[in-house]
Amino acid sequence: MRKKILAGNWKMNLNNYEANNLAKEILVNSQKKEKIDIVLIPSYIYLSNVVSLCVNRPDIFVGSQDCSAYASGAYTSEVSANMLRNIGVKYVLLGHSERRSYSFETNEKILQKIHQVINNKMNVIFCCGESIDHRNENKHFDWIEKQIKETIFYLSAEEIKNVIIAYEPIWAIGTGNTATSSQAQEMHAFIRNLIKSKYGEFIAKSISILYGGSCNPSNAHDLFSKNDIDGGLIGGASLKSDDFIQILASFK
Ligand code: PGA
């Protein structure tokens, strides 16, 4: 009943030519699959172009890596959710650990952005994840619960339907140390239970929860075969079309 999703977070990589090529290669080499949506998440400046390349593929969507917490006005350099919606963006990535640490984004700020995205009828890919210290101290469940309670739990039952959760342990991002499929499954089941405790079973079962953090062609199948892992948010391996396409072929 819930969607399988494969999202590629290109981060601050690729020049214009490379971004164009990567999108084209993914378009050519991926076949439309009934139950899997693809989300390409390039830098702001490539969004319009990637949206127009994907126009004939109803299974491929374009996402932004961020948006402003404000609706409009004197916020030099910021990009509003409404502007993104206007050019055909359907998803916005929020709460990524790189934004939380390098740009000091708090749960409060992330919640403001979530409201902007939902008010503009787009979908949020909400990231949460613990540090290695939290895990070693056995505080990882408490940490994720706090991140979720201080953000998406403020949404109504109607609004939460527009949220996809991405569990991304910080120690696994870009390190090659992926979580084992049982570590990931354990946390995904915990997150789903949390959603159930607030929004009920039906909504909990319909929300897609993605895994992110050094997911690649060799570990994707094992991760995606777990009951509560509905796909992946891929960083490094999304920059090579071959790897991304192989990950796409890893769904059970
Ligand atoms: P990674 O990044 O796949 O390179 O670990 C994932 C992410 O940060 O979304």
160-198 pLDDT, tens digit per residue, is 999 999 999 999 999 999 999 999 999 999 999 999 999
Task: State the DSSP code for 2.
Answer: P
Residue 216: CA count within 13 A, CB half-sphere: 13
The pLDDT, as a whole number, for residue 19 is: 98
Ligand 1 atom with least separation from CA of 166: 9
**DSSP E strands, 108-155:** 123-128
- Cα 188 to Cα 119, 164, 191, 195: the distances in Å are 27, 12, 5, 11
Averaged over 137-152, what is the pLDDT?
Answer: 98
DSSP 157-226: HHHHTTEEEEE--GGGTTTS-PPPHHHHHHHHHHHHHHHHHHH-HHHHHHS-EEEESS--TTTHHHHHTS
CATH number for position 23: 3.20.20.70
Q: Is 174 in the pocket of ligand 1 (CB under 6 A)?
A: yes
Question: From the CA of 73, how far away is ligand 1's center (Å)?
Answer: 32
Binning the chain into helix, strand and coil, the percentages to the nearest 5 are 45, 15, 40
pTM score: 0.97
Q: Can 168 be counted among the known catalytic residues?
A: yes
Q: Is 216 in the pocket of ligand 1 (CB under 6 A)?
A: no
The pLDDT, as a whole number, for residue 118 is: 98
> Distance between CA atoms of 133 and 219, rounded to whole angstroms?
24
Q: Is 228 in the pocket of ligand 1 (CB under 6 A)?
A: no
- How many structural domains does the chain have? 1
Question: From the CA of 111, how far away is ligand 1's center (Å)?
Answer: 22
Identify which of 83, 97, 85, 71 has the alpha carbon closest to the alpha carbon of residue 11. Answer: 97
Domain encompassing residue 80 = 4-248
Q: Which helix (H) or strand (E) holds 9?
A: strand 4-9
